Structure 1
C-alpha cells in the first residue's frame, strides 16, 4: 500500500479525448480510437514531492478531484520543460500524505531521465499522461 505513480504514452493520433485533466484514455473508457491503451514507460514508488508537483499542475489545468487519486494528467512539452527546471533547481514542493513515504533527493537522476524520455516521445508524436494511485 502506498503512492504508486506512472507515466504513460500513446500516439497522439489515437487519442480522441483531448482533455488536459481526467481524460478517458485508460481502461477502455472510450477516449481513444479502437480502444487503444497508453503504454506505461515510467514508474515511481513513494515520491511525494514529484506527485505534489503534478497535483499543482492538475489543479492549474482545472482538475477538480481534491485527492488527485486515480486521475489522469496530460503533460505537454511546456509542462515537461517546467518540470525539468524545477527538478534541476530543487523546487519540487514538499508533499506529505497517508502512505506517501518521502522524497529524499535521490530520485533526481531518475526524474531527469523521465523528463528526457517524455520529451523524446512528445517529439515522436505521443501524448504523455501521469497517473497515480494511493
Structure 2
C-alpha cells in the first residue's frame, strides 16, 4: 500500500479541468511515493476548482502552461513538502524523471492528446 501516481493520456476531451471521467487512457508516466509532486498536483487541482475533500482517485488535466510552471518549480526545487501516512518521502532524486515526464507530456499535447494526473493511495 502506498502512494501510486500516474500521468495519463487520452484522446477524449473531458468537459472539465478536474474531476472528470474518461473511458480509454494510456499511462504516460508512473511515480511511486513522490509526495512533493503529489502536493504540487493537489495545489493545481484546488486552483482549477477541484472540490473533493481528499485528493485521491481524482483527475486533473495538465495544460502547456501547467507543465511550464511545473518545470520551473522542479528545476528551482520548489515542489511543496508533502507528507501522508502512505506517501513515503521525496528525496530530490526524482528530478530527472520529473523533467523527462514533462517532455513526454509536451510531446503528447503536440500530438493532440489530453494529459492528466491521477493517483491512488
- TM-score, shorter chain, exceeding 0.5: yes
Q: How far apart in 2 are the matches of 1:112 and 1:66?
A: 29
Number of the residue aligned with 1:63: 50
CA RMSD of aligned residues (A): 0.8
Query: Structure 1: which 4+ aligned runs deviate by more than 2 Å?
Result: none
Query: Counterparts of 1:69 and 1:121 in 2: how far apart (Å)?
Result: 24
Of residues 77, 83, 100, the one that matches 1:96 is 83
| 1:24-54 deviation line (CA, Å, top 9, x unaligned) | 11xx4xxxxxxxx011111000000000000
In the aligned structure 2, how far is the partner of 1:96 from the partner of 1:131?
17
Q: TM-score, normalised by structure 2?
A: 0.97
C-alpha displacement of 1:80: 0.6
Question: What is the CA–CA distance in structure 2 between the aligned matches of 1:40 and 1:49, rounded to whole Å?
Answer: 20
Listed one character per residue, the Cα deviations across residues 70-129 of structure 1 (whole Å, up to 9, x for unaligned) are 000000100011000000000000000111000000000000000000011101111101
Q: Give the alignment's TM-score, normalised by structure 1.
A: 0.88
Once the 2 structures are TM-superposed, how far is the Cα of residue 66 of structure 1 from its aligned partner?
2.1
Number of residue pairs the alignment of both structures matches: 121
Greater Rg, structure 1 or structure 2? 1
The SS at the match of 2:5 is: strand
Q: Residue in 2 aligned with 1:23?
A: 20
